[in-house]
Amino acid sequence: MTNRLQHGWDDESAVRILESIRKASNPGARLLVLEGVVPPGDTPHMMKMVDLTMLGMLPGRERTEPESRTLLERAGFTLDRVVPTSTVFSIVEASVSWEAPPQMLLAIARAEPHDRTVEEPIRRKRALITGASRGIGAAIAQALAARGDVVAVHYRTDPEAAVNLVAALPGEGHVALRADLTRPEEIPGLVEGAVSALGGVDILVNNAAVFTPHPIATTSYENWRSDWRRTFEANLFAAADLTWQVTRHLLDRDEGPAGARVMMVGSRGAFRGEPVSPAYGASKAALHSLTQSLAVTLAPYGIAVTAVAPGFTRTEMAARLLDDDEQGPAIRAQSPFDRVAEPHEIAAAVAWLTSAEAEWASGAVLDLNGASYLR
């Protein structure tokens, strides 16, 4: 587990983040704290060489040894020792060619054992799910609420469906929020509304998407251009903007970002193509790439980012095709199971990938297509 304390945070903020690192770690986990300039090189290799499980950095200003000791003890760590970095790099066999500044210190600390005999209240996770008034989004809302999460159900055009879903979800505190995600100026308000209504956001599920047929041979140039732009605005840019807004909330909140989850609902079409709606397939391929880029970027903060790539799923929007005497059998025959997915099957995977146990899946794009497309 790697956690980096953002440059410039004061001692109070550093203590809060260190506390979140400790609470998210196993009892007795070892923490490496670097003071001052971050060295170049293979940090994971260095951690492995000295058998460390966590990395924390406290840049922003030079701290004396007593200051470092006090900071760590306030966060619940028992300090083993503080040594010059030059000594540490000799310990790890100097895996990087770098001369450490003389004022830079390295502290090796151990997390205080957590008293498991003391019953602690379990805080409900708070989830914002886009496009959640029906279909896969509604099934995800039901799955997360069933495990005890409190949910913000986003919708754009169907307030009745969203309100009815909120009323039917198990538990209390759920809310319906409207926003047009193709309008970037509405996205900050959506996140602020979720934070205000739920008391914060721990899980973001980017599910909302549009699918507009625009086969190249029969679509006018004007419609071709507008369909591509609208599809990318809804399917990719909105997800990127929402993730930025939620990440900013996570980094700025007192409890810190560790343990948060971001989920992208992609598509099988990203891999096999979408002949009738090429912008849809391209937008989902880009969404998968965004998932993996953010997984690397956000891992140091304890935020896991994953995606699912469903194949054809039985939803209200798909009913017309599935009920067609010719197209329905052909679509079901794409899978050797001779059927399509049910929304609750996609939701079950999302529920696990957004759980505390699924951190190590970060960066994964999980195929959910009943063996209809193998890669």
DSSP 47: H
Contact 331, 322 (CB under 8 A): yes
Per-residue burial over 260-276, b = 16 or more CB atoms within 10 Å of its CB, e = otherwise: bbbbbbbbbbbbbebee
For residue 323, which of 345, 343, 340 has the smallest C-alpha distance? 340
Q: How far apart are the first and last CA of the chain?
A: 30
At 178, is the secondary structure helix, strand, or coil? strand
At 274, is the secondary structure helix, strand, or coil? coil
Return the axis-axis angle of helices 221-232 and 278-298, rounded to nearest 10°. 30
As a 3-state breakdown, the chain gives helix, strand, coil percent values, each rounded to 5, of 45, 15, 40
Name the β-bridge partners of 56: 33
Contact 2, 42 (CB under 8 A): no
For residue 236, which of 283, 181, 274 has the smallest C-alpha distance? 283
DSSP 373: S
Known active-site residue 155: no
Residue of 155, 221, 280, 301 marked active site: 280
Q: Is the dihedral of CA 275, 279, 280, 284 positive or negative?
A: positive
Helix ranges, the chain (H): 11-24, 43-49, 65-74, 85-91, 135-146, 159-168, 187-198, 221-232, 238-252, 269-272, 278-298, 319-323, 327-332, 343-353
For residue 2, which of 17, 16, 357 has the smallest C-alpha distance? 17
Name the β-bridge partners of 129: 153, 205
Catalytic annotation, residues:
280
